[in-house]
Amino acid sequence: MNAPTSHDHLVPVITPRTIPAAFMEALKQRFADNCSTAQIVREHHGRDESAFTAVPPPVAVVFAQSSHDVADAVALAAQHHVPVIPFGVGSSLEGHLLAVQGGISIDVGRMNKILSINADDLTVTVQAGVTRKQLNDEIKSTGLFFPIDPGADATIGGMCATRASGTNAVRYGTMRENVLALEVVTSSGQVIRTGSRAKKSSAGYDLTRLMVGSEGTLGVITEITLRLYPLPEAVLAAVCSFPSIEAAVRTTISTIQMGVPIARVELIDANAVRMVNAYAKLGLAESPMLLMEFHGSPNGVKEQAETVQEIANDNGGQSFEWATTPEERTRLWTARHNAYYAGIQSKPGCRAISTDTCVPISRLADCLLDSVAEADASGIPYFLVGHVGDGNFHFGYLIDPNNAQERETAETLNHQLVQRALRLEGTCTGEHGIGLHKMDFLVSEAGEAAVDMMRTIKRALDPHNIMNPGKIFSY
């Protein structure tokens, strides 16, 4: 199968495989009511938050209750060479869930138990269907928290699969740094564990990190052991408006280069502020702003915040405002997390094409400002938000999915942005993954030889190409 070319990025290549009747019978027999073939259920599981045109949905959805269920479903699929697509809450953004080669969806959403909290070790083990908010609710009494927060209330399994991160990654790292070990169902339906609860290990190949970011193409993640962190003694949030995006970006770059251990530093452009104001009636000043958060001791956060306030002032930052109560902080961060939905709401019937480049911090202004100029010139409505402390930002180009011209324009903007990020030694995806959408970009970024190495690993571990086939690279 060939990868889609850059000009039909949002029209998936579909190469469905024959699903043997014997497979469907065996599946129904094994899973009974936990296997659905209802059209609406299948359609719900055959799409994600991306702007891809619809493809035929999976032929069935298995609602797994346990790792054993997942293993049995995969073993059956392996026997009949049927594709398997793991499903969490469906919040992925690059077409990961589309059944481009047919097959079944395995929904792990009912595997939502916290299996063990080891507060003394700052670790927790959860089933793959636990969502990040559920996790933080259930561990609240321990005084610990799990920091990784992609915008959506994604499942921990899905966050592992895409190597997700979010607003706190600048301080706490991404899923790459915060997964200690996994339980994984392999392509033959075998259950393996990839690590222990030790904080570090040199015991053989790092299967944990091979699985993190593999987007369901090497196995189905069923359990995850995560690192937790003590809730900081003091938390201080601040918001600061800037006369230009450049001023906000320069403030961020200096903050990072000075080594301030800032916990969050998020850029929201004037468009995004306007959309969020309309969506949630917030009354924020409609200019580019940075949302920041500092974690530490009471003195420590004060020191950090004062340093950043000085940097912001030097860059023309206005009205540095503090949010000290949990309620004020929640209001600010809810605004940030709602930016995507606020963007969608701002143009009825639209879909967002979300970019996801990430560049070294010294290249951030170069990468971002030229891309803003291009987006402004295009006439496509957009918003811009970013985990700028990591050099990662997202344009959301708001397009009418039925308007080929708009799609093409947005794809061209994205293409130019990615090429620019790669020239600046960055990556085409900081946290969303490759999915269907960025397969060409992966080749540009990593080179044919490195993608060949990935393909060799895939073929060795999934010889019948049943694990979320057609994603990341052509088989």
Residues numbered 230 to 259 that lie near a second copy (CB under 8 A) are 230, 232, 253, 256-259
**Kind plus residue range of the DSSP H or E element containing 225:** strand 220-227
Contact between 429 and a second copy per CB under 8 A:
yes
- Which residue from 26, 114, 115, 457 is in contact with a second copy, where contact means CB under 8 A? 457
- List residues bridging with 399 in a β-sheet: 351
Minimum Å gap between C-beta 178 and a second copy is 10
Contact between 445 and a second copy per CB under 8 A:
yes
Site for a second copy in 301-330 (CB under 8 A): 303
Residue 103 · residue 83 · CB < 8 Å: yes
> What whole-number distance in Å separates Cα of residue 342 and Cα of residue 348?
11
- The CA angle 413-417-420, to the nearest 5 degrees, is 140
Instruction: Give the x-and-dash track for 174-213 against a second copy (CB under 8 A).
Output: x-xx--------x---xxxxxxxxxxxxxxxxxx-xx-xx
- Which residue from 109, 189, 426, 470 is in contact with a second copy, where contact means CB under 8 A? 426
Minimum Å gap between C-beta 61 and a second copy is 26
Count Cβ atoms below 10 Å from residue 367 Cβ, excluding itself.
22
The pair of three-digit structure tokens given for residue 19, joined into one six-digit string: 């699903």
Minimum Å gap between C-beta 184 and a second copy is 9
The pair of three-digit structure tokens given for residue 64, joined into one six-digit string: 């797994």
Nearer to a second copy, 371 or 409 (CB): 371
Residue 5 · residue 440 · CB < 8 Å: yes
Minimum Å gap between C-beta 3 and a second copy is 13
CA 63 from chain center: how many Å?
A: 23
The pair of three-digit structure tokens given for residue 21, joined into one six-digit string: 């009747």
Which region among 106-114, 282-290, 326-334, 417-425 touches a second copy (by CB under 8 A)? 417-425
Distances (CA, A) of 295 to 227, 303, 317, 416, 467: 17, 11, 22, 37, 40
Site for a second copy in 354-413 (CB under 8 A): 356, 358-363, 390-392
261, burial (CB in 10 Å: exposed 0-12, middle 13-18, buried 19+) = middle
Minimum Å gap between C-beta 410 and a second copy is 20
Which region among 5-13, 37-45, 156-164, 313-321 touches a second copy (by CB under 8 A)? 156-164
Minimum Å gap between C-beta 205 and a second copy is 5
